[in-house]
Amino acid sequence: MAKESTTDNKVVAELRESFGKGAARKLRVLGKIPAVIYGHGTTPVHVSLPAHHIALILRRSNAILELDINGTSQLTLVKDVQKDPVRQIIEHLDLIVVRKGEKVQVDVPVHVEGESFPGTIADFDAKTLLLEVEATHIPQNIVVSIEGLEEGAQIHAKDIELPKGATLVSDPEMLVIYVHTPRGTDEGIEAADAAAAEAATEATESTESTESAE
């Protein structure tokens, strides 16, 4: 199953003519974020967006923005977010033009629900799946149940139920989640001891078989 957010994605965008680091700093002081819109063979359009509103929308991945540019509506997909590495403040956005009904390829986060068998943990080998979906129906995430899964259980991309209308682009055989017993735990030590005992038994049987043959 997939969850979608209901956060209002309608944003008023203002055209900008000043560029460079100095102009960008002035915009951020005013509570705005510089952004550029491109795609579908259009000429790149430079705009500024309200920082607080954008920060709320970007809490979810693959956000779609319905921009109002001088009274004209334009759907865009957030393609890249540049942040200050220390303060984590959004510094710039790259947006691509999308159209209703158009399909796009996006990385969608995988979330787990439930608990695996007691004493085991479920680890991610891949935290996202690349899907092809309608631009206006991008799932916020894909939820996968690990309830009761035991040691050695694996979930591959092909095993995951996708949202309606979504197509898997990632390798179907890609390992996404695996369940194991952490090393150093009682269960892990017992499993290691059992494996060692089994190996010792097999070695003894092999030696006895060799001696009998001689």
pLDDT tens for each residue of 119-156: 999 999 999 999 999 998 899 899 999 999 999 999 99
Is residue 69 in some structural domain? yes
Residues 55 and 26 placed together within one structural domain of the fold: yes
Answer whether 35's CB lies under 8 Å from 81's CB: no
What average pLDDT does this structure show over 80-102? 88
Distance CA 73, CA 77 (A): 13
Single out the residue of 79, 75, 124 nearest to residue 97, CA to CA.
75
Q: Of the given ranges (35-44, 67-76, 193-202), which has the lowest mean pLDDT?
A: 193-202
- The bridge status of strand 32-39 relative to strand 90-97 is parallel
Least confident of 15-29, 47-61, 177-191: 177-191
pLDDT band at 192 (very low <50, low <70, confident <90, very high): very low
Spatial separation of the C-alpha atoms in residues 134 and 154, rounded to whole Å: 29
CB 83 within 8 A of CB 26: no
30 and 86 share one domain? yes
Is the pLDDT at 5 greater than 50, yes or no? no
When divided into structural domains, the chain yields a total of 2
Q: Considering the domain boundaries, does residue 134 fall inside one?
A: yes
Task: Dump pLDDT digits (tens) for 42-68.
Answer: 889 999 999 999 999 998 889 999 999
What is the pLDDT at residue 194? 56
Closest CA to 139 of 164, 171, 173: 164
Instruction: CATH number of the domain at 131, please.
Output: 2.170.120.20
Q: What pLDDT score was predicted for residue 177?
A: 97
Share of the chain above pLDDT 70, in %: 82
Domain end (from 50, 69, 98): 98
Q: What is the pLDDT of residue 146?
A: 96
pLDDT band at residue 17, thresholds of 50, 70 and 90?
confident
Instruction: Judge whether 198 lies within some domain.
Output: no
Average pLDDT score over residue span 108-129: 95
Q: Do 15 and 53 have their domain in common?
A: yes
- Range(s) of the domain holding residue 114: 105-180
Which residues are CB-contacts of 139 (< 8 A; sequence separation ≥ 6)? 2, 3, 4, 108, 131, 133, 163, 166
Give the mean pLDDT of the chain: 84
Residues 41 and 57 both lie in one domain: yes
Dihedral sign computed on CA atoms, order 122, 127, 128, 129: negative
CA separation for the pair 138, 135 (Å, rounded):
6
Instruction: Give the DSSP H/E element, type plus range, for residue 65.
Output: strand 64-69
Tokens of 21: 């680091």
Say if residue 110 is in the same domain as residue 85: no
Phi, psi at 56, each rounded to 5°: -65, -45
**Res 8: pLDDT:** 80
pLDDT value, residue 25:
79
As a whole number of angstroms, the distance between CA 54 and CA 91 comes to 11
